Amino acid sequence: MHYFEFPTKDTTLYEDSGSQNTSLDEILEVRKDMNSDGSVVEVSRILIKFDLTYISESVESGLIPSNASYYLNLYDANSTGLNTSQTLYAYPISQSWNEGSGKRDSNPVIEDGCSWKWKDSNTGKTQWNEVSQSGGTWYSGSDGQYTNEASQSFTNEASDVRMDVSGIVNNWIYSGSSYANEGFMVKRSGSIGNSDTNLDEGNTTQLGNFSFFSRETHTIYPPKLEVVWDDSKWNTGSLSPLTSANLEDMTVYMRGFREKYKENSKVKFRVVGREMFPERSYSSTNLYETGYTTAKYLPSGSSYYQIKDAYTEDIVVPFGSGSVVSCDSTGNYFNFWMKGLQAERFYRIEYKIVSGSGTVDETIQFFDEKHSFKVVR
């Protein structure tokens, strides 16, 4: 299963902008601007927060298991100058902050929210901590079972971020008031106030600028917090398996498939695998409509679904441990929560079937039968 949350607030803190707020910008940036002599002009850091209420309630009720994985997704918006291998880090923010309504190019400058200097506004004037011009504060290290640091490395090119932040989120869920959810800080390695010249933010290495779409974007690429877990179940009842011969000549279709689904609905998709050319039998029931008589169950634990944006071909839900097809006495199926897919867009479902065992006998087949649907408000 894949479940998505969109951010409730985000912003960029710019070192050279003092008390300026930039929360309504459509782009979030991790910058490092330098002079020709190698001295650092400024760096910037991203703050981003997601509401974990539903996730926490679902963990408590058992709907989301304790071993679920959590990923921070940020989508590249024409990053520049990334000509060396480097790493981005995420940390849990250690203080509350106000989002504000400013933009980088606002004239006059808007100072009604957090900034490099203040965690509230230029009116409230509450410093992030005792260090003036600090650029935010965060927890680091680990606290028992869970770590307060996540990272993703890049090799000489721009890329989307899909960072495993499971340790941070689990600290928020299970540590109660010890680690209140104030969101993530995304940055290069560096110190409070950017005073350590041995770390990436403060050293003389040209690293370029990361740019990502913010929650204010008018594109289909806002940030997302992704929750992934294996929700598959397996009970074949009296069904028969697809044999090796069947798998070599088969098709996959969907029973009861609709063209439209509401954006917050929870859907059980029925998946039918059968021979491409089944033997003729005589019955008063249309077998192609019901799928019951000719349907056989797909290989256990190695049948996967994938969901793509039908227009851009971007993969929203990839093949993997969070997209395993289930089975009950009626046939194969998978559950999907539409929340996290964007309304008024079309999506397409594809399948990957792995059969056999070992490197010699293993067969991997992909099925794209144009099963497209629209998410509606």
pLDDT at 143 over 80: no
Count Cβ atoms below 10 Å from residue 219 Cβ, excluding itself.
10
More confident residue, 129 or 234: 234
Alpha carbon distances (Å) from 335 to 65, 101, 267, 323, 326: 15, 39, 6, 9, 9
pTM metric for this prediction: 0.91
- CB-neighbour burial class of residue 104 (10 A; exposed 0-12, middle 13-18, buried 19+): middle
Q: Indicate the pairing of strand 224-228 with strand 69-74.
A: antiparallel
Residue 290 has a pLDDT of 47
Residue 196 has a pLDDT of 78
pLDDT at 291 over 50: no
pLDDT at 325 over 70: yes
What is the per-residue pLDDT across 72-123, written as a single tens digit (0 to 9) for each? 999 999 999 987 889 999 999 999 999 999 999 999 999 999 999 999 998 9
Residue 133 has a pLDDT of 63
* Span 255-272, average pLDDT: 95
* Location of structure tokens 């009861």: 256
What is the per-residue pLDDT across 149-170, written as a single tens digit (0 to 9) for each? 999 999 877 789 999 999 999 9
Count Cβ atoms below 10 Å from residue 109 Cβ, excluding itself.
17
pLDDT at 292 over 60: no
Residue 278 has a pLDDT of 64
Q: Indicate the pairing of strand 363-376 with strand 260-262.
A: parallel
* Span 206-215, average pLDDT: 94
- List the one residue out of 149, 152, 145, 8 whose CA is nearest residue 88: 152
Residue 194 has a pLDDT of 73
Domain ranges of the chain: 2-228, 244-376
pLDDT at 350 over 60: yes
* Span 53-65, average pLDDT: 95
State which amino acid sits at residue 116.
W
The two counts, helices (H) then strands (E), for the chain are: 5, 23
* Span 41-46, average pLDDT: 92
Q: How far is CA 243 from the centre of its chain?
A: 36
CA gap 356, 160 in Å, rounded:
34
Residue 260 has a pLDDT of 97
CA atoms within 13 A on the CB side of 196: 9
* Location of structure tokens 């004239």: 107
Residue 251 has a pLDDT of 85
Residue 283 has a pLDDT of 57
Instruction: Please name the residues in contact with 331: beta carbons below 8 A apart, sequence gap of 6 or more.
Output: 239, 255, 270, 271, 272, 291, 292, 295, 297
CA gap 42, 104 in Å, rounded:
14
Tokens coding 200: 């990436």
Residue 284 has a pLDDT of 57
> What percent of the chain is predicted at pLDDT more than 90?
67
244-376 maps to which CATH number?
Answer: 2.60.40
Query: With bands split at pLDDT 50, 70 and 90, how would you rate the model's confidence at 366?
Result: very high
CB 306 within 8 A of CB 287: no
pLDDT at 293 over 60: no
Residue 279 has a pLDDT of 64
